[in-house]
Structure 1
Amino acid sequence: MEYIKAFIVGGGICVIGQILLDRTKLTSGRIMVIFSVTGAFLTALGVYQPVVEFAGAGATVPILGFGYSLANGVIAEVKSEGLFGIMTGGLKATAGGISAAIAFGYLAALFSNPKSKG
């Protein structure tokens, strides 16, 4: 049942992204920023945590989950370190994922023939 919940929620997030791509003039980069900020905002309001508890990876893996991770890192760091945690919390919480994305992106570029869209 966990897989079904994750598929429905994660797929729903992707459907929203696809609708935004198809029906608006927003670029994929802008949609990613909107999703990240929305994830952080919903986490700050306490709305996204129940979604994460319900859907698990279906809510944390899409880009909304990145905003969720940033917000959770900041909240935890502010509780333990004070206002300085605003600057360090998001970085500590997401450093592993960002590092992995950079490393795997580099490896993909080594084994493929990347071209620009010009």
Structure 2
Amino acid sequence: MEYSKAFLIGGGICALVQILMEKTKLMPGRIMVLLVCLGAVLSFLGIYDPFVEFAGAGASVPLLGFGHVLMNGVKEAIGEDGIMGLFTGGFRAGAAGCSAALIFGYLASLIFKPKMKK
């Protein structure tokens, strides 16, 4: 049941974003920034934690989840380091995920030999 819930919630988020991309003139980069910021705001308001508990990976994997991770990192760092945590918390919280994406992306490029688009 947990997998089904994650699939349906994550797929629903992706479907809503796809509709937003199709029906508006917003560029994909702006939509991505909007999602990260929305995840951070929902996390700040305390709405995203219960949503992640309910939906699992369906809520933590999309870009909304990245904003949530950044906001949680900032909250923790402010508690530990004071105002300097405002600048360092997001980097510490997001470093593992960004590093993994870069490393696995590089490994995939070695295996599959990508070509430039023409």
Asked if these proteins are the same fold (TM beyond 0.5), I'd say yes
Counting only pairs closer than 5 Å after superposition, residues 4-83 of structure 1 correspond to structure 2 as 4-83=4-83
Moved over 6 A (4+): none
Q: How far apart in 2 are the matches of 1:2 and 1:93?
A: 25
Q: 2-side partners of 1:20 and 1:112: how far apart?
A: 33
Shift of 1:109: 3.0
CA-atom RMSD, angstroms?
1.3
TM-score, with length taken from structure 2? 0.91
Match of 1:115 in 2: 116
Between stretches 86-95 and 99-108, larger displacement belongs to 99-108
Normalised TM-score (structure 1): 0.91
- Paired residues, number: 117
Partner amino acid, structure 2, of 1:33: V
Per-residue deviation at 1:78? Answer: 0.5
Unaligned runs of 5+ in 1: none
Cα deviation, residue 105, structure 1: 2.1
SS of the residue aligned with 1:79? helix
Give, as a single letter, the amino acid of the residue that structure 1 aligns with 2:53: E
**In 1, distance between residues paired with 2:74 and 2:64?**
16
Q: Tell me which amino acid in the other structure corresponds to 1:9.
A: I
Which residue identity does 2:69 align to in structure 1?
S
> Gaps (5+ residues) in structure 2?
none
Q: In structure 2, what is the Cα distance between the partners aligned to 1:70 and 1:114? A: 33
Q: Deviations over 1:2-36 (max 9, x none)?
A: 11221121111101111011111222211111100
